[in-house]
Structure formats: C-alpha cells, structure tokens
Structure 1
Amino acid sequence: MTDLANHLSLFLREHLPRDRGASRHTVDNYAHSFRLLVTFVASEIGKRPHALSIADLDAPMILRFLDHIENDRGNKPRTRNARLAAIKSFFRYLEWRAPDRLDLVKRVQAIPAKTYDKALIDYLSRSELQAILDTPDRRTVGGLRDRAMLHLAYAGGLRASELVQLQVQDLEQPGMTDVRILGKGRRERVLPLWAETRSVLRDWLAVRPDASNTHLFVNARHQPMSRHGFANRLRVHVAKATRRAPTLSSKTVTPHVMRHSCAMHILEATGDIRKVALWLGHSSVQTTEMYLRVDPAEKLDVLHASAPPAIRKGSFTGVSDRLISMLSDVHSRPVTRSKPPTT
C-alpha cells in the first residue's frame, strides 16, 4: 500500500482504539469519513483509492471535498465540521509519523470549521414522552425490549451509542438500583434507576433470549442492537404514539431528542445546570448551556420548578480496492469493549 493507505490503516486500527482509547462509535465514524474522502479524491484526480498518496490530500483538495459533501451530498455544516475534525485528527497523527509532510499538515490544520446558526434544541413534553413510552406491546418479546430501551434511554439521558453498547453486567445486581455507562471520551458514570425503569428492565431480562453475547439489548437475530436499529424502533413507536399525542406529528423524534428531553426535565425539576451536566456525562458545563437557550417562559418555569418528572446513510459498492476494503472492514467490525483495569 502507499504511504497514505499504510498510515491510515495504522491510524484507524491501532492509534485511535489503542493509543487514544476511542470508542467503537468514533472509529466507525472516522472510517466512514475517510471512505468518503478517498473516494472523492480518487475520482477527482483519476487514481484508484489504494494508489493515493498523502500529497494528494492537500488543503485545496480537502476544501473541495468539504464543499462537495455540503453542496452535492446535502450534509449540514455540523456534519461538514465533523468530517473536517476527523481529517485534522489524522493529520495530527502524521506530524510524528511523516515529518517530511509537515508543511502540508500545517496547511490542513489551518482549515477553519464552518460557522453556522445553532437552532434551539427540540425536546418532548411529558405527555408526548409518556405516549411514546406506553406504545410498545407488553405481550411480545420485542415490545418488552423496546419498552425497556425507551425507558432507559430517557431516564439516563443516554446517547444511542451508550444505550446499545450496554452489557448485562452493567446493571447493578441483584437490586438493579443503578447502571454503569461508558460515555463519550471513555468517561464512565453511574446513574441511579427509577423504580419504573427497574421494573421494565426486569420484564425484559425475564424474556431476553440466551444470546451468545452479553449485550443488554439484542435484535430479532439475537445480535447486538445497533444505533440504527434503535432509531428505527423509536420511529415506529413515535408513529403509533402520534394518535394519542397529535403534537408529535410536528416533531422529528430521534434518540438525541429523547436525551434532550431528559436534560430539560431535569433542569426544570432542579434548576441546576451542573446536575444536568453530571447526569448526561458532559465534560464541561459549557456543553450543557444549550439547555438554557429556551424561551423566557420556560426560564421562569425553571426558576420555580421543584417537583421531579412524573414520567412513570449511503453506501459505496461495486468497487474492489484494497484501501476501500480496509476502510470498510474497520467500519463494519463487530463492537468490542475492553474491561476497565482493576486496581
């Protein structure tokens, strides 16, 4: 392989997971970003992806790629910035591994992120949320699983990646009073569970198939539930819940909207942004400040609140190329999770 393919393989397979402790979710996103990049560059200059060199990824080419994903693929500025962040991370890695490319590295690092207007977050009212939580059919195994996933996603304010990577042993046994979460940046947090959340989790564990893996939530094939699988189940239940809560028809409910809803309800109940940050696993309160950007009426409600919440992709196919195959392999590897060191 060329210098680019060799360095990119080591970056994704060894540096990110081993040296940086990156999660499977981060490695997956980085691999997808570079799959898009090398495909675009190869098409632009008429080379096969595996024949590309580091020199082919100069700053003007990367800027053309960023414009391409925004203008031609319809990506939002936030996605554009995420792709740029992945590229810059790789070029920081090259500073030490390819010092002869230092000038190129500096020019790429100087590419600015795109500024954009940040919209107010969307979240669910308690009645909308309750309608969704009550939708899964408790008479079926899938319904019990979905009910447990929805309750835990909301109660913990979990990212989709945090939810689907949970292991059975992450639930405190036998009382199931709390759950251990491995979050972004490999930061761990332990969250207490409400009585109702414990109840729906027990219902699920009682019928959970004896799968060959230890993931808490599995799909119909007894494989670990994926982020896309959870998002799809959420869409199904939101569509049904709209009959009981018509206001849901005007909202796009994603797993992150469930997380936002948890954050807003905690903020309304406590009036303390620091508690929201701790609950969600934010590394800085600055990240959590977006929940203060609500309308004045909501801010007044926060000041007077005292009661807790009463809530019981495209694909690249048809090409045989060694570099693309490596990126696809990294992108599709099964989730593995190392245990924290014991002291």
Structure 2
Amino acid sequence: MTPIAPLIEAFLRETLVHQRGASQHTCDSYAQSFQLLFEFAAARLKSRPSRLMLEQIDAGLVSAFLEHLEDLRKNAAVTRNVRLAAIKSFFRFLEYRQPAALDQVRRVLAIPFKKTDTRLVPYLLREELQALLDAPNPATRDGIRDRAMLHVAVCAGLRVSELTGLTINDIDMPSMSIRVVGKGRRERALPLWKPAATALSAWLAIRGKVATPEVFVSARGEALSRWGFAYLLKQHAAAAARQQPGLAKKRVSPHVLRHTCAMIILQATQDIRKVSLWLGHATMTTTEVYTRGDPTEKLDAMEAIVPPHLRRGTFQPTDKLMALLKSTT
C-alpha cells in the first residue's frame, strides 16, 4: 500500500509550481479539488485523510465523488469537470512515478468529462459599465483605489490574478502602459486608456510607501487578494445597480470585466486577432467565443453576403377543366 499524501505534496509543490510554472490561482484550484476528494474519501472509507492510500483512490471512488459533487453539493457540470481535470492531471503525474498502479491510473483517466452547454459570454453594456466605474467614491482613499482597480481591470482585460499581482515595476506611466505576466508566464505589454491612466495616477499619488510591491493594497499596506477584489466588486456592482437596474440581474464577477473588455475591443476593431493579443490568449480558439456574443459580427456577415436571386414568376389560376379531371383520377 502506498500513502497518497507524499505523492500529492510532490505533485503540488514540485510538478505544478516548479516544473509547469502554474499560477497561484491554478495551484489553489487544484488544492481545493483534492481537499474535497480526500474529505469525501475519508468519510466513505472511515479513515483520516492523511492515512489514505493511493490504491484506495480508484476509478470507482472518483466516480462516486463526482456524483457526490453534482447530487449533494449541487455543482454544475462545469465545476465537476474542473475537479476531474485536476484529478486526471495528478494521475498522469503518477504514470511515471508509480508504474505498479498503471492499470488503476488508466481507469481513472478513462472517466469521461460531461458535456456542457456552450453559452454566450456574459458582459456589461456600455451604460452598465460606466455606472460600475462611477460607483467608487473618489473623495476617499479606498474609493480612489477601487476606481483605479476597476478601470485598469476593464481597460487591460486582466484576469483577477493578473490584477492583484500587478506590481509597481510593471507600470510605465510616461508611456501609459503596463506589463502583464499571464498564464504560462507569457508577458504582454498593454497601453492604458486615458481615463484608466488618470485613475491609476490618482491612486499612486496617495498609495504611499509600503513594503509590498503590489500596486493595489489595503489600508494596512497588504496586497489585496483576488477574493478581496471580488468582494469590493460585488459592493460596487450593487451600488451601480441603483443607476442601472439591469445590473441587478447579472452576476458581475472579475472575469465578466475581462469579457467586457474583449467585447469593447472586438466592436471597436472588428478584428478577433487584436482581442486575442490584448487578452493574452495562447490560441485563437479561446478568443472565438466572443464572436458568438457580438451581434454586430453577424450583421457585418449578412451585409457581405450576396443572397441568391429569387426567380420571378407569374401566378396563374388552375384551369377548372384540368382541376376537374385531376380530381376524378
């Protein structure tokens, strides 16, 4: 029997962080998936999580865990697939570490992902976005910080980890641009719209000297977490909904701001390649989802199409005698 704890530790700390260079967000997501899995396995096997053995985490238990997520935790198929992806990644890691468990590994890897609905990306309309950007109070320190965060997040289309990880050294105010380190450690330089640059300059002027290098910090000088930003965003979205009631029906998450940026760039440039470069996507396939959400793309396509001609014809009533003959046959 092989204890699973050392294997998980090696996978999370060595393989994910050092070998694959995964972001902190990815590492946290994987850790959360395994936490849920081991809590389920420990309860099912009447054991402590630290005493679980690799041989106990077989395809049957993993399948039961996935059913537990959907039936009892009421997780959607998308969330189920995220948990399964983390588990499969770990078992692919085991293929070369535990050759004796190869059959068990292959059975887990054979568990299929569930099909999910392909929905249109959620984004804010221009009036809704403006109401959100105007929500923070510019007369307070926190309001100036939050206004700068929202403007930069939308302008650059940043992932929440990219926003909270932005440092002072990543900002070049003379050129009004920022340097962003995205997924896979891919860097990209992005210009700031003038309102975003103005809001950011106002925040930097009162930020003060703090030990942490991150741009956006709390009153105690500590870097804001992505959960902290999500909380502030929720508060400002609720305030903005008083001006734009449509916001109350939308779930305004940090990623919705990224989607909003993508739609603004797409509608302004009509070039999906520019959207891909702006957002830092590895492939164009990821970016194509925005073309399904932009109705102007369909209108442009319709205008470019030359429809087939409709052949003219003249209606002639049916001859009564011929109609009579046809009815008697």
Q: Assess same fold via TM > 0.5.
A: yes
> Which of structure 1's runs of 4+ aligned residues deviate more than 4 A?
295-298, 301-304
Which residue identity is paired with 1:279? W
Q: Is the 8 A contact 1:268 1:301 kept in 2?
A: no
Q: Higher mean Cα deviation, 216-225 or 137-146?
A: 216-225
Which residue identity is paired with 1:75? N
Which residue identity is paired with 2:202? D
Matched, 1:248 2:244: no
The equivalent residue for 2:197 is 198
Q: Higher mean Cα deviation, 47-56 or 206-215?
A: 206-215
2 CA distance for matches of 1:75 and 1:82? Answer: 11
Q: Is the 8 A contact 1:153 1:258 kept in 2?
A: yes
2 CA distance for matches of 1:220 and 1:176? Answer: 28
Structure 2: stretches of 5+ with no match in the other structure:
304-329
Q: Cα distance, 1:297 vs. partner?
A: 5.5
Q: Cα distance, 1:299 vs. partner?
A: 2.9
Q: Is the 8 A contact 2:77 2:116 kept in 1?
A: yes
Q: Can you list the C-alpha shifts for 1:233-289, whole angstroms capped at 9, x where unaligned?
A: 111111111122222122111111111111111111111111111111111111111
SS of corresponding position for 2:288: helix
Q: Is the 8 A contact 1:176 1:198 kept in 2?
A: no
Q: Is the 8 A contact 1:157 1:263 kept in 2?
A: yes
Q: Cα distance, 1:133 vs. partner?
A: 0.6
The equivalent residue for 1:145 is 145
The equivalent residue for 1:45 is 45
The equivalent residue for 1:215 is 214
Q: Is the 8 A contact 2:263 2:294 kept in 1?
A: no
The equivalent residue for 1:321 is none
The equivalent residue for 2:67 is 67
Which residue identity is paired with 2:207? R
Matched, 1:181 2:180: yes
Matched, 1:170 2:150: no
Q: Can you list the C-alpha shifts for 1:173-232, whole angstroms capped at 9, x where unaligned?
A: x51521111112222111111122111111111111422210111123321111111111
Residues 185/71 of structure 1: CA separation in 2 closer, same or farther (3 Å cut): farther
The equivalent residue for 1:271 is 270
Residues 76/190 of structure 1: CA separation in 2 closer, same or farther (3 Å cut): same
2 CA distance for matches of 1:80 and 1:297? Answer: 34
SS of corresponding position for 2:154: helix
The equivalent residue for 1:94 is 94
Which residue identity is paired with 2:267? E
2 CA distance for matches of 1:2 and 1:198? Answer: 55
Q: Is the 8 A contact 1:164 1:217 kept in 2?
A: yes
Which residue identity is paired with 1:7? L
Residues 208/301 of structure 1: CA separation in 2 closer, same or farther (3 Å cut): farther
SS of corresponding position for 1:179: strand
Q: Can you list the C-alpha shifts for 1:94-146, whole angstroms capped at 9, x where unaligned?
A: 11111111111111111111101122111111111011111111111100110
Q: Is the 8 A contact 2:3 2:51 kept in 1?
A: no
Superposed counterparts of 1:220-239, under 5 Å: 220-239=219-238
Q: How large is the Cα RMSD of the aligned pairs? A: 1.8
Q: Is the 8 A contact 1:189 1:281 kept in 2?
A: yes
Structure 1: stretches of 5+ with no match in the other structure:
305-343
Q: Is the 8 A contact 2:69 2:75 kept in 1?
A: yes
Matched, 1:115 2:115: yes
Q: Is the 8 A contact 1:136 1:144 kept in 2?
A: yes
1 CA distance for matches of 2:163 and 2:241? Answer: 24
Q: Give me the TM-score of the superposition, normalised by structure 1.
A: 0.85
Identity, % of aligned pairs?
Answer: 52
1 CA distance for matches of 2:33 and 2:105? Answer: 18
Residues 183/295 of structure 1: CA separation in 2 closer, same or farther (3 Å cut): closer
1 CA distance for matches of 2:231 and 2:302? Answer: 36
SS of corresponding position for 2:103: helix
Which residue identity is paired with 2:245? P
Residues 14/278 of structure 1: CA separation in 2 closer, same or farther (3 Å cut): same
Residues 269/302 of structure 1: CA separation in 2 closer, same or farther (3 Å cut): farther
Q: Is the 8 A contact 1:178 1:191 kept in 2?
A: yes
2 CA distance for matches of 1:165 and 1:295? Answer: 30
Q: Can you list the C-alpha shifts for 1:286-343, whole angstroms capped at 9, x where unaligned?
A: 1111111136556326999xxxxxxxxxxxxxxxxxxxxxxxxxxxxxxxxxxxxxxx
Q: Is the 8 A contact 2:267 2:294 kept in 1?
A: no
Name which structure has the greater RCO, CA cutoff 8 Å, separation 6+.
1
Which residue identity is paired with 1:244? Q
Which residue identity is paired with 2:209? D
Q: Is the 8 A contact 1:91 1:105 kept in 2?
A: yes
Superposed counterparts of 1:17-32, under 5 Å: 17-32=17-32
Q: Is the 8 A contact 1:69 1:80 kept in 2?
A: yes
Q: Is the 8 A contact 1:271 1:302 kept in 2?
A: no
The equivalent residue for 1:310 is none
Residues 207/296 of structure 1: CA separation in 2 closer, same or farther (3 Å cut): closer
Residues 140/302 of structure 1: CA separation in 2 closer, same or farther (3 Å cut): farther
The aligned length equals: 303
